[in-house]
Structure formats: structure tokens, C-alpha cells
Amino acid sequence: MANVLVVAEHVDGVLRKVTRSAITFAREAAALTGGNVEVLLLGSDVDNIAEELSTSGVSRVLYANDPAYAHYLAENYAPAIAAAAEEIDAAIVCSPSSTTGKDMLPRVAAKLEAGMVSDAISVENDDGLKFRRPLWAGNVITTVEVVTPVKVVSVRTTDFEASESTSDAAPVEAFDPGTGAADGVEFVSFDQVKSERPELTDAEVVVAGGRGLGSGDNFEMIMKLADSLKGAVGATRAAVDSGYAPNDWQIGQTGKVVAPQLYFAIAISGAIQHLAGMKGSKNIVAINKDPEAPIFQVSDYGLVADAFEVVPELTEKLQKVLD
């Protein structure tokens, strides 16, 4: 028992890139356990994704193609994942620490009588497998061990590179979990925020605004700057709470974790809960009119200035450079 099972995540017929980061975690773990990395795809008529997964650096793709999996429901997914874990004798079951992963993996752990690690940022073998994970809004990192034979792990994907495609294709095999659809639960809708912008967790550039912007309308200039750099738009919890930005944009302890090449924090004071979601960014630019704002303690480049004056100027000058 040494294999590692990754649960693939997809939306709208497209494999989410965070799955590839979870595969990288799984490969690191499998190198320590001496097992194979196998990926489970649950869905309905997503053959294209099965094909893509076959060259994602795994040993085998288990494909459960069933209308019961057309829409994600934890109650249907968790038993199927547990069945696959038993089928391949998995020592570790993992998926991205996305809202889907967070929702379903504890149910998988309960079924497998397994302990679960949330938001793993590393795995190593030091007299047994040890995982590191952030807590207290990233102010503390703990090293943990799971004492049960099977270990369930949600992976903080910003800490693992996306697995690269291989030229050899791993086999794709049909898998029937035999677990069916649960009673007492119905999928109603998924209302996707349609956007031309990249996903926050995938973007190379993120432009984020805080409550200091004063209104939802004022996010317009954040979006313009993001669009000029083909970046994603983010927001603080305070800005989301104030109704300036949708929850899907929230970066921080209780939102998304991002680590782009370039992060703009605009009118963001830098509460620890926000820093938890972005301080892994490669380059951080902070624009805030308060020179004492804590965000300047983590930024590489700071401008003490009124966002309303400098953000349009910055957008224009960057545009000139890019043109």
C-alpha cells in the first residue's frame, strides 16, 4: 500500500490547472512511499479531460464516466473517491485545496477512517511521512503526522508547480465505483462568473483592491490595470464584506491563496488575514496613501500615494511600455 490517488477537478469541460499542482504534490509523495500516482476523473462525457490527464505525469487515469457525476456533489463524489482509493490500495488521497476539495475530502477521510491534513505545503519522509501546513492565517506553520494507514491531504496548490505534460500517455481505464447517487441532495445550479480574465489562482499578474477604494464603482480602475497586464482581479475580505467585490475575488485566510509573478495591492492596509493569501507572490507592489500601512512591510515596491491619482497614471504608462 503505497499508491497516491489524485482527484481531478474540472469545470465547464476544462481541467483546472490546480489539479496539475496536486499531481506534483502526489509525485513527491509517491517518490517517498515508493508507489504510483493515479488520478481519478469523475464526470459525464469528459473524454477530452481523460486524454489530457493521461499525459499529465500520472501512471494511470481512472475514469468514472456517469451522469451521476455531471455536477459536483460531495455526497456522490466522496463515496466514489473512497471506492477508488480502496481499489488501488492508496496510501494517500489528495486533491487541490479548492472549495471542492475542502468540501469533499473530509467525507472521504471519514469513509476511509483516515486522518486528514488541510492545505499541505510540503511532504517529506523523516521517520515517517511529515506534512507542513499553515494555520492562524499563515502566522504559524505546523509539521504534522497522520497516524492512520490512509492519509487524506488537501494541497495548497500555490506551493507546487503545475506538472508538465509528458509525451507518453498513461492508460485510461473505465472505473465503476458502484456507489451511485445519494438521496436527499439535489444540484440546482452553478452560476459561473463569466470573465475574459484568467482565474485568480492561475494568473501571472493579480491586481487587488481594498476597502480604501470606497465603492464597487471604484474597482473599475483596478480592472483596467488588471486588463492592461492580462491579469486577474482580487479583493480583500473587507472589500467583499462592504459589497464592493464578489466573494469569488476574495484573497486571504478565508478566501483564495495566490502566488503570482506580480501582485498589486491597491488601497489595501495589509491585515494579516489578507497577507495569508498573497505573501507568497514573487513581486509585490503596494499603493497606499498611509505610509504606516502594514502592507509596506511585505511589499517589494511601495508608492505612498492616492490610488485614485496614481492607478490611472500607472495603467497608462504601463500600456505605453507594453505597446
Partner 1 sequence: MKILATVKRVTDPDMKIKIKPDETGVVTEGVEYKMNSFDEYGVEEAISIKEEHGGEVVVVSIGPAASTKELRTAMAMGADRAILVETDQDLDSDAVARVLTEVVGREEPDVIVMGKQSVDSDRNQAAQLLASYLGWPQATFAFNVDISDGWATVGREVDGGTSTKRIELPGIITADLRLNEPRYASLPGIMKAKRKPLDTLTPDELGVDIAPRVNVLKFEAPEEREAGEILEDVDELVDRLQNEANVI
Chosen residue from 10, 27, 60, 111 binding partner 1 by CB under 8 A: 111
Could you write out the DSSP letters of every residue in 104-128? HHHHHHHHHT-EEEEEE-EEEESSS
Query: Using the rule CB under 8 A, is 273 a contact of partner 1?
Result: yes
CA atoms within 13 A on the CB side of 80: 29
Contacts of 170 (CB under 8 A, 6+ apart): 53, 54, 55, 58, 59, 60, 61
Q: What is the four-CA torsion angle of 64, 68, 70, 72, rounded to 10 degrees?
A: -100
Query: Using the rule CB under 8 A, is 137 a contact of partner 1?
Result: yes
> What is the Cα–Cα distance from 132 to 128, expressed in whole angstroms?
13
Query: Strand 3-7 relative to strand 90-96: parallel, antiparallel, unpaired?
Result: parallel
Query: Using the rule CB under 8 A, is 74 a contact of partner 1?
Result: yes
Query: Using the rule CB under 8 A, is 196 a contact of partner 1?
Result: no
> What is the Cα–Cα distance from 95 to 181, expressed in whole angstroms?
21
Q: How far is the CB of 59 from partner 1 (least distance, A)?
A: 27
Helix (H, G, I), strand (E, B) or coil at 304: strand
Query: Using the rule CB under 8 A, is 283 a contact of partner 1?
Result: yes
Give the x/- contact pattern for partner 1 in 31-70, rule: CB under 8 A. ----------------------------------------
Query: Using the rule CB under 8 A, is 240 a contact of partner 1?
Result: yes
Chosen residue from 6, 26, 146, 265 binding partner 1 by CB under 8 A: 146
Query: Using the rule CB under 8 A, is 13 a contact of partner 1?
Result: no
Stretch that binds partner 1, among 33-41, 168-176, 208-216, 310-318 (CB under 8 A): 310-318
Q: How far is the CB of 93 from partner 1 (least distance, A)?
A: 14
